[in-house]
Structure 1
Amino acid sequence: MDREPFIRATEIWVPAADGRSIDLQSGVYGQMDYFAAVSRGMRFELGEGLPGKVWEQGRPIILRDLCNSYFVRKEAAMTEGLSCAVAMPSYDAGRLRSVTVLFCGDDRFRLGALELWTLRSGEDELSLVDGYFGHAHEFESETRDTRFASGEGVPGRAWRTGRPDVLASLGSDGRFLRHEAADQVGFDRAVGVPCPSRKGVPFVLTLVSSCVSPVAGRIEYWVLDEGVGGFRLVSGYCEACEDLLTSHADTVIAFDVGLFGRACRKRIPLIDEDLATDTESRVARSAVAAGLKSMVVQPLNAGDGFDAVLVWYF
């Protein structure tokens, strides 16, 4: 993919075996070698840094300004031009399994939006917790005045189903309610991701992509089909391949082979930093042919166990 993605780095943090810290397990940093070098081997105690804050508060957190916050690596972030981050926890039976951190920016050269929605006490519609919109000021203004009922819009559908809602096009069909404002600024795709919290309060992360800087090179949502013993592609899109769903229509990814099943069995996100070495995987070969180098596999738990994955390719 020739265009730089809006998500510039992804990290997976997991609690240490002794429960005293949350440690960096893996990360994808693109060409940001300095930020990668600073980050490798880091660990945080409860309440320390962004991963530690998510661990302590038990909910997703968005930081709109890394350099003017409690973010520990702010100097490295400023050097690499990172503007913001969002961190999402994953739980299993009330136990924290992981924290996924997505880094985005900077808005001088990239255009995109991060939105974190929640259901506040006593209300029946999702409202915005916070968001990062770069220089898309009119879109931000409309978003901050918007609420979503269950099943309404991208956040509402992700909330109702407990599953990702992937929109490959923000057309005028009513599925993206702010399509006029999105069209004016150049936004063209959206993904809604339900985010668990320790107390069961619903949160939804929405990522809005632009033709200038796509959220990722490819996004796929796969669900385990127990009838065939593997994962089938439900939705997704690729910036370099217009016919992704058709090309994978007959593809079944075995549960007991590869990163999809391993992420679900381990119940933590996993990263493949070099897809070119996975020559036996059909999805890896397809991604490499589209000019993609790495993928992040996020296992999803809809209440009956981890039986689906959301996959980001860069």
Structure 2
Amino acid sequence: MDTVVDAPVKTFIQVTEIWVPEADRLVLAEGNYGGLAAFEEATRAISFGKGEGLPGKAWAEERPVVLKGFDGSYFKRIEAAAEAGLTSAVAIPVFDDATLKAVLVVLCGDDETRTGAIEVWHEEDGLMMLDDGYYGAARHFEWVSQHTHFPRGQGLPGGVWSANTPMLFRDLGSGYRFIRADSAGKAGLTTGLGLPIPVPQDKTFVLTLLSARGTPIARRFEMWDARPVKVGKETAAILADGICERDGPLWTDDTQQEPRRVTAHQGNIGKVLATGLPLVASGKPSLTEGYDSMVALPIYDDGAISHIVAWYC
């Protein structure tokens, strides 16, 4: 019997899509549209060439792309998005060295209560600078972020840059490691997930997902370490950190002795290990830890998956 977690009234991200290269086009592999049937129908009728639309732009420019408004932009589904109440989007390319594996696109709406942040940071002159971000109603936090930069090792963007691994920050409003703690607390932001976004040509990008309690980006986060781990002859990933609003911490000192481990093809994380592609799952709570949906994103390093980051709504 499926265990279902009561869904929040609103989530910060409303639509998640995965686009994969097929010949010279990006085609839809899978998506979670949260009941926005008309937008889903419009999406399934299109594909993108290199440089076309938001997925194609992330492919051509080889970097994450934030689009905070659709009107008059290069976005291909403006009318369908307006009817669905979608106002902004972020495209995250998944590269294995110079090879594009997929583009993950998340789309959000905008109102006076929807609060959170999806940020893209880039390295410039030895500092991590805000490339762009979408913040919903967190206007003051957006202003603070635009005027904040991070040396290597400081804050969430600087920490991810230094370690070249995903990082999970808890209690953003009071955490001493989170440089913007005061403004995060005022905005109601509680949990931060940062992850490196490897791209060609040695450019450095970091993506941060900052979740608020009222309109969460996710209600559960997992970070899996897939750097050469073998179970017999199979590649495996080990749960390195995680937090869940229902279950509390998913990782403690005890898990270092008996780590949670998955192998290729074992569950959703194992499917990412096996295919090398991001994954969106919805509709079967038994496959998504009791939640309505989940996203799993692989991170590549030196020709192999080094980490998998998953979030559940």
TM beyond 0.5 = yes
Residue 55 (structure 2) pairs with residue 51 (structure 1): yes
State the match for 1:301 in structure 2.
300
State the match for 2:229 in structure 1.
226
CA, structure 1 residues 80+302, in 2 after alignment: closer, same or farther (shift >3 Å)?
Answer: same
Residue 184 (structure 2) pairs with residue 179 (structure 1): no
CA, structure 1 residues 173+239, in 2 after alignment: closer, same or farther (shift >3 Å)?
Answer: closer
CA, structure 1 residues 35+96, in 2 after alignment: closer, same or farther (shift >3 Å)?
Answer: same
CA, structure 1 residues 174+80, in 2 after alignment: closer, same or farther (shift >3 Å)?
Answer: same
Q: Taking CA–CA contacts closer than 8 Å with sequence separation of 6 or more, which of the two structures ends up with the larger relative contact order?
A: 2
Residue 7 (structure 2) pairs with residue 2 (structure 1): yes
The 5 Å alignment of 1:23-42 reads 23-42=27-46
Residue 285 (structure 2) pairs with residue 276 (structure 1): yes
Native 8 Å contact 1:275 1:295 kept in 2: no
SS across alignment from 1:51: helix
CA, structure 1 residues 93+114, in 2 after alignment: closer, same or farther (shift >3 Å)?
Answer: closer
Gaps of 5+ in 1: 279-283
State the match for 2:218 in structure 1.
216
State the match for 1:61 in structure 2.
65
Q: Kindly provide the CA deviation profile for residues 120-156 of structure 1, in whole angstroms up to 9, marking residues without a partner as x.
A: 2xx0001111122223222122111111111110111
CA, structure 1 residues 7+132, in 2 after alignment: closer, same or farther (shift >3 Å)?
Answer: same
State the match for 2:242 in structure 1.
236
State the match for 2:275 in structure 1.
266
Native 8 Å contact 1:163 1:302 kept in 2: no
Native 8 Å contact 1:63 1:86 kept in 2: yes
Give the number of equivalent residue pairs: 300
Offset at residue 68 of structure 1 (A): 4.1
CA, structure 1 residues 302+44, in 2 after alignment: closer, same or farther (shift >3 Å)?
Answer: same
SS across alignment from 1:42: coil
SS across alignment from 2:66: strand
Offset at residue 252 of structure 1 (A): 2.0
Offset at residue 171 of structure 1 (A): 4.5
Amino acid at match of 1:260: I
Offset at residue 96 of structure 1 (A): 1.0
- Determine the C-alpha separation between the residues in 2 that align with 1:310 and 1:88: 13
- Determine the C-alpha separation between the residues in 1 that align with 2:286 and 2:247: 21
Offset at residue 7 of structure 1 (A): 1.3
SS across alignment from 1:59: coil
- Determine the C-alpha separation between the residues in 1 that align with 2:111 and 2:135: 9
- Determine the C-alpha separation between the residues in 2 that align with 1:108 and 1:82: 14
Native 8 Å contact 2:173 2:188 kept in 1: no
SS across alignment from 2:114: coil
SS across alignment from 1:112: strand
- Determine the C-alpha separation between the residues in 1 that align with 2:88 and 2:245: 23
Native 8 Å contact 1:235 1:245 kept in 2: yes
Native 8 Å contact 1:119 1:127 kept in 2: yes
State the match for 1:310 in structure 2.
309
What percentage of residue pairs aligned between the two structures are identical? Answer: 36
State the match for 1:281 in structure 2.
none
Question: Which of 161, 164, 168 is equivalent to 1:162?
Answer: 164
SS across alignment from 1:133: strand
Bigger shift: 256-265 or 50-59? 256-265
Native 8 Å contact 2:197 2:205 kept in 1: yes
The 5 Å alignment of 1:68-147 reads 68-120=72-124, 123-147=125-149
Offset at residue 261 of structure 1 (A): 2.8
TM-score with structure 1 setting the length? 0.88
TM-score with structure 2 setting the length? 0.89
- Determine the C-alpha separation between the residues in 1 that align with 2:151 and 2:47: 39
SS across alignment from 1:231: strand
Gaps of 5+ in 2: 1-5
SS across alignment from 2:104: strand
